[in-house]
Amino acid sequence: MIDTNSHMGPAEFRRRALSRWDDEGGAMASEPHVSLAEVPELTNTELVQLRIRVIALENLLIAVLAEGSDRQAQTAREMAELISPQTGSSQHPLTLQAAKHMIDLVERAAHIQNQPPS
């Protein structure tokens, strides 16, 4: 939620939130970093469940965007543009793919939004 007591607008809030991904892995609170050696490998069952959840979340997001305003869709597009790396850093292929996927979700929502009711 945006702090209404600050002078930070929505665009600055988004920029700051996304900048934390580089430093904190997307975490909102500062917690000690866990070494990858301490994280156990996911089992096949866990990977399947994760895939199912991602598919469900994508479809829920598409439904929400389809019912949302043009401004909300534009904000999602702007977020995709903001996930680029810091100045002087190289583009990571997964970051590029994530940005393209975000745009694809917005476009799929627009397609559903333009469908006549059955």
* DSSP per residue, 30-74: --PPPPGGGSPPPPHHHHHHHHHHHHHHHHHHHHHHHHS-HHHHH
pLDDT number for residue 19: 67
DSSP E strand stretches across 1-118: none
Does pTM top 0.85 for this prediction? no
Q: What percent of the chain has pLDDT over 90?
A: 44
Residues 60-83: tens digit of each pLDDT: 999 999 999 999 999 999 999 888
* DSSP 8-state class, residue 91: P
Please report, for the chain, the start and end positions of each structural domain, with discontinuous segments joined by +.
Answer: 1-39, 41-118
Assign 86 to helix, strand or coil: coil
From CA 78, how far away is CA 68, in angstroms rounded?
A: 15
Any idea which residue has 């996911």 for tokens? 42
